[in-house]
Amino acid sequence: MAFRFAAAAFAALVLATAIFFARMRDNDESGGAVKGSPRLPTSVLPRHYNLRLKPDLQACVFDGDLSVDVEVVEGVDEIIINAADLKVRDGSVSFRPTGSSQVLKPATLDLVTDHEILVMKFKEALPVGQGTLSMSFEGTLNDQMKGFYRSSYSVGDEKRNMAVTQFEPADARRCFPSWDEPSFKATFKIVIEAPADRVVLSNMPVENEKMSGDSKVVEFQVTPIMSTYLVAVVVGELSYLEGTTRDGTSVRVYTLPGKAELGKFALGVAVETLPFYTEYFETPYPLPKMDMVAIPDFAAGAMENYGLVTYRETALLFDEKHSAAANKQRVAVVVTHELAHQWFGNLVTMEWWTHLWLNEGFATWVSYLAADYLFPEWKVWTQFNELTVDAYRLDGLVESHPIEVEVGHVREIDEIFDAISYKKGASIIRMLQTYLCAKTFQKGLASYIKKFAYRNAATEDLWDSLSSESGQPVKELMNSWTKQKGYPVLAVKLVGDALELHQSQFLSTGQPGFGEWVIPLTLCCNSYDSYKTSLVRGTSARIPISHEVDTKSKGKWIKLNVGQTGFYRVQYDDHLAASLRSAISGGYLQPDDRFGVLDDIYALCKACREPMRVLLSLMEAYSAEADPAVLGHLITVSRGVSWILADAIPAVAEDTKGFLSRLLLAPAKNVGWDAVPGESDLVSMLRGDLMLALVLFGHEPTVIEAKERFYEFLKDRNTSRLPADIRKAAYSAVMRSVTAADKSGYDALLQIYRETDLGQERTRILSCLAASSDTEVVREALNLILTDEVRNQDAFFVLGGVRREGRETAWSWLKENWSLLRSRWGDSGFLISRFVTTTTSFSSQEKADEIEEFFRQHGMLAIERTVSQCVERVRINARWVEFIREEEGFKELISELALP
């Protein structure tokens, strides 16, 4: 029998591809994937996998045996499944119809590398009915953080490996030949042969363990029916902490030896979250146990494998002394997110990647619901506005995409794990929940979960369940949000005793857009008691307002998108805008609305629809702001303003920083440098953000204090003078004055980096190392990425820390090293796209052309979308810069506003 790698045999490739396309399913009917997309045929379906894997942690290879119980639905003469980077053993493949003694061997076996498929062609048609497909194979424990890969750690001077899987979206095929698409659900019996002294984990609890000499064979219980991308195995040296939920599920947090205590916070969150979801979805957690493992090398933040969730260390471990309050919130939100997937994603799975947003958007939204239940003091729903803002930012681009997105090649899937799927997805769910009301929404969801448990579902299935529960036209409303890209801006005018509304697509480029949305409008007049809601369809609407509206008197205002739960922006007429501004300074608006008004004006400014002057005078209305989330956003906006003005009118850069420092000084004085015992996490977070912003704006007293505290910390890592929350500010203050001639600050930071074993501390330092304005120092920091001192997973932190002064250096560095970067990160999913986003913060048309041209020559499929988006952003900035330059009297205004 012939076994050949198709890459080496072009003729075989052409032939196999032709067969493959000829037999493909009609994708347009099955989830909206584009024509010609490589989806597997459904003539033979997997029912149960028996999978045995034997990883060799030293040689970094593995061996596998597979037998799959299948159902032959149509009497075809071939079986096509996924496989990639595997060597299927010659002669090992066979098919045996159930109950028959006949064993069929394929006549040809082709591994088509481009399509990641294995084509087994038999001499004659397979009998319809059940059968078993068997084969054995081998592969490499790769270092790409996907498929079956190695992650390394040190014990003393010795470097050791653990073996870990990461299969989403489409990399189970790199570990075992499989029907590697979410709709081919099956059960799995997994058996792992490993060194006797290692811990072996998989989705299910161990059923049986046999020792034989130095190794052991660990057999796991059969899983419930599930998709391949959720299968997981971890083999390594691990310790754990254990807890039990109130309904009796065992939960463990596994870490490298010596770190188990750091899992305590996450364990507590998980133990409370599982029963919360059991109640919310009205469906118990379907598996007997939940293990959560911290993996030293991990591409994403975490992965929701059924019963065995894997995490980056920074997303699971929390150190009371050296982690910041922001790290704590991150851990809580990641854990609640991954546990949500156990229902939404794992029990009910999207039919195809076009519906990825169902998984990710929903998990993102519900993770806030759980976090709010566990930590009401964090006021996470106000923080949620940051997600919505990120979604607005991406979705305001022509190069955005609809929530339900066509997926052509599997390599394009990685790129849609983006702010649209996660953050716009979560935001429109928030909008829908508000519209339908919380209880109805929960009931509809629970019935959706019950109806589709152990099956697959598409977006419309969710709308159907919510419609039945609410009696509302959910599909009509939501289609306008999921099937077209973009979002609307509502222009509002008060004419007589009515509001005149006009909707149009909001594009940061300033171009006219064409979309139209069904908008669940909410509105308040002068008081939150006057809450009104109505559905706006069509481009214009008129809403009568009761007579008592008098926006001219003090404290009178009209606010649309109340609580910012809708996914649209509002542009008020001058008069309404002025009344909102005084409502903000007068303290009449709630935090979410204060957040929203600021962000809308900022975005309108960026789209050149409002002058800078309007934004600055609005920012002044926040001078008594005390809400941490609103202040957090004021800081974000301030940093954006400072950045663009430095490009637009360099002569006012210093005055701008002076003005912004003045704005932030009052709240900074309020929170002070030292934590008050028992203060809220929000205050600790805010302190860090404020001090960092003041440092970046060059506020000298803050820089001096931050540095002083840094040097105390350098002498004594246990000093109470530099808690984790303010370390980033201190590290940045130090890096500001580092030059090639005096690198002592850089070296000191690197020393702390090398000494610490805590992921959060390491990424904190990495994200400051390139923050010098000295070209040589920036280069040195970037080159560190290429050494083995920085794990591949962490490279982008260094790039993300480059300041405006270092961006040319970073861009040149990227171009010079591109082929190396591509070879190292190009196969690790979405990580490569981060290199593009972090090195392209420019604001001129020439630069946009240059970036476009560079990637035209050196691009790759996996970053196409990202490159177009980055180029568009540069053009938006360029246009904004021109607009600012033309704004009359602006220079004078900014110097008036600056610090005395």
Question: Which residues in this chain contact Zn ion in the complex, by CB under 5 A?
Answer: 360, 363
Q: What are 504's two structure tokens?
A: 């149009």
Give least dist CB 182 to ligand BES, A.
Answer: 12
Alpha helices in 672-802 (DSSP H): 681-696, 700-715, 727-736, 744-755, 759-769, 775-784, 795-800
Region binding ligand BES by CB under 6 A among candidate stretches 336-344, 481-489, 493-501, 742-750: 336-344
Give least dist CB 349 to ligand BES, A.
Answer: 12
Distance of CA 674 to the CA centre of its chain: 33
Residue written as token pair 């803050």? 702
Q: Rounded to whole angstroms, how far apart are CA atoms 823 and 247?
A: 48
**Closer residue to ligand BES in complex, CB, 64/169:** 169
Residue 777 engages ligand BES in binding (rule: CB under 6 A):
no
Cβ-proximal residues to 9 (8 Å cutoff; 6+ apart), any chain: none
Residue 337 engages ligand BES in binding (rule: CB under 6 A):
yes
CA-based end-to-end distance of the chain: 85
Q: Which of 334, 431, 645, 782 binds ligand BES (CB under 6 A)?
A: 334
Does 338 qualify as catalytic in the annotation?
yes
**Closer residue to Zn ion in complex, CB, 230/576:** 230
Q: Give the DSSP letter of residue 126.
A: P
Distance of CA 496 to the CA centre of its chain: 46
Residue 415 engages ligand BES in binding (rule: CB under 6 A):
no
Q: Which of 78, 193, 319, 338 binds ligand BES (CB under 6 A)?
A: 338
Q: Are strands 569-572 and 488-495 parallel, antiparallel or unpaired?
A: parallel
Residue 252 interacts with, from ligand BES, Zn ion, none (CB under 5-8 Å by kind): none
3-state secondary structure of 280: helix
Give least dist CB 62 to Zn ion, A.
Answer: 27
Give least dist CB 164 to Zn ion, A.
Answer: 18
Q: How are strands ordered across the β-sheet holding 158-166?
A: 147-155, 158-166, 233-236, 199-202
Beta-bridge mates of residue 199: 236
Q: Are 733 and 710 in contact (CB under 8 A)?
A: yes
Q: Which of 266, 302, 374, 641 binds ligand BES (CB under 6 A)?
A: 302
Give, as ranges, the residues between 821 and 840 that touch ligand BES (CB under 6 A).
829
**Closer residue to ligand BES in complex, CB, 267/631:** 267
**100-104 contact pairs (CB < 8 A, 24+):** 100/127
Give least dist CB 425 to Zn ion, A.
Answer: 10
**Closer residue to Zn ion in complex, CB, 340/876:** 340
**Closer residue to ligand BES in complex, CB, 251/549:** 251
Region binding ligand BES by CB under 6 A among candidate stretches 301-309, 592-600, 653-661, 780-788: 301-309
Give least dist CB 64 to ligand BES, A.
Answer: 22
Give least dist CB 167 to ligand BES, A.
Answer: 9
**Closer residue to ligand BES in complex, CB, 168/181:** 168
Residue 303 interacts with, from Zn ion, ligand BES, none (CB under 5-8 Å by kind): ligand BES
Residue 182 engages ligand BES in binding (rule: CB under 6 A):
no
Nearest to 111 by CA among 139, 86, 93, 143: 86
Nearest to 731 by CA among 719, 714, 716, 715: 714
Cβ-proximal residues to 799 (8 Å cutoff; 6+ apart), any chain: 770, 782, 785, 810, 834, 835, 838, 839
Residue 274 interacts with, from ligand BES, Zn ion, none (CB under 5-8 Å by kind): none
**Closer residue to ligand BES in complex, CB, 221/342:** 342
Give least dist CB 832 to ligand BES, A.
Answer: 13
Residues near ligand BES (CB under 6 A), total: 18
Residue nearest to ligand BES (CB): 301
**Closer residue to ligand BES in complex, CB, 417/813:** 417
Q: What are 158's two structure tokens?
A: 């010795």
Nearest to 165 by CA among 150, 178, 179: 150
Residue 629 amino acid letter:
A
**Closer residue to ligand BES in complex, CB, 202/349:** 349
Q: Rounded to whole angstroms, how far apart are CA atoms 409 and 567?
A: 30
Q: Which of 181, 304, 319, 412 binds ligand BES (CB under 6 A)?
A: 304
Q: Are 182 and 31 in contact (CB under 8 A)?
A: no
Give the torsion through C-alpha atoms of 15, 21, 23, 26, to 10 deg.
Answer: 180
* Per-residue x/- track, 417-446, ligand BES (CB under 6 A): x----x------------------------
Give least dist CB 337 to Zn ion, A.
Answer: 5
Q: Which of 32, 139, 147, 169 binds ligand BES (CB under 6 A)?
A: 169
Region binding ligand BES by CB under 6 A among candidate stretches 95-103, 332-340, 426-434, 454-462: 332-340
* Per-residue x/- track, 347-386, ligand BES (CB under 6 A): -------------x--xx----------------------
**Closer residue to ligand BES in complex, CB, 301/408:** 301
Q: Rounded to whole angstroms, how far apart are CA atoms 869 and 396?
A: 10
Q: Which of 44, 300, 332, 350 binds ligand BES (CB under 6 A)?
A: 300
Q: Which of 85, 110, 168, 461 binds ligand BES (CB under 6 A)?
A: 168
Q: Which of 341, 393, 791, 803 binds ligand BES (CB under 6 A)?
A: 341
**Closer residue to ligand BES in complex, CB, 367/503:** 367
CB atoms within 10 A of CB 446: 18
The region that residue 137 occupies, defined by phi over 0 for left and psi between -120 and 50 for alpha, beta otherwise, is beta
Q: What are 897's two structure tokens?
A: 């506003």
**Closer residue to ligand BES in complex, CB, 323/484:** 323
Give least dist CB 340 to ligand BES, A.
Answer: 9
Give least dist CB 374 to Zn ion, A.
Answer: 18
Residue 302 interacts with, from ligand BES, Zn ion, none (CB under 5-8 Å by kind): ligand BES
3-state secondary structure of 17: helix
Q: Rounded to whole angstroms, how far apart are CA atoms 662 and 644?
A: 19
Catalytic residue, chosen from 193, 313, 338, 351, is: 338
- Taking CA atoms, 876 is separated from 133, 144, 479, 643, 648, in Å, by 55, 35, 28, 14, 13
Residue nearest to Zn ion (CB): 363
Radius of gyration of the chain (CA): 28
- 60-83 exposure pattern, b = at least 16 Cβ within 10 A, e = fewer: bebebbbbbbbebeeebebbbbbb
**Closer residue to ligand BES in complex, CB, 341/657:** 341
Residue 340 engages ligand BES in binding (rule: CB under 6 A):
no
Angle at 608 between CA 605 and CA 610, to 5 degrees: 50
Region binding ligand BES by CB under 6 A among candidate stretches 95-103, 231-239, 337-345, 578-586: 337-345
Region binding ligand BES by CB under 6 A among candidate stretches 83-91, 297-305, 861-869, 877-885: 297-305
DSSP strand E in 221-287: where?
233-236, 239-244, 250-255
Residue 797 engages ligand BES in binding (rule: CB under 6 A):
no
Give least dist CB 458 to ligand BES, A.
Answer: 18
Q: Are 801 and 769 in contact (CB under 8 A)?
A: yes
Nearest to 699 by CA among 632, 638, 749: 638
Nearest to 689 by CA among 631, 625, 760: 631
Q: Which of 230, 238, 262, 333 binds ligand BES (CB under 6 A)?
A: 333
Give least dist CB 484 to Zn ion, A.
Answer: 24
Q: So which residues are the catalytic ones?
A: 338
Binding site for ligand BES (CB under 6 A): 168-169, 300-304, 333-334, 337-338, 341, 360, 363-364, 417, 422, 829
